[in-house]
Amino acid sequence: MLKFLLRPKVLIAGFAAFFIGGLLLTFTTGLGSYLFDRSAAERGMHRHIESVFTDHKFLGGACMNVDSDGDGYVSCTARTANKQGIEQTHALECAGAMTLQNGCRSQRAQVIGRQP
Please give the model's pTM, rounded to 2 decimal places: 0.61
Angle subtended at Cα 101 by Cα 98 and Cα 104, rounded to the nearest 5 degrees: 110
> Going by C-beta distance under 8 Å and a sequence separation of 6 or more, which residues neighbour residue 90?
49, 53, 61, 77, 78, 79, 80, 106
Percent of the chain with pLDDT over 90: 32
pLDDT digits (tens, 9 = 90+) for 47-103: 999 999 999 999 999 998 888 888 888 899 999 999 999 999 999 999 876 666 778
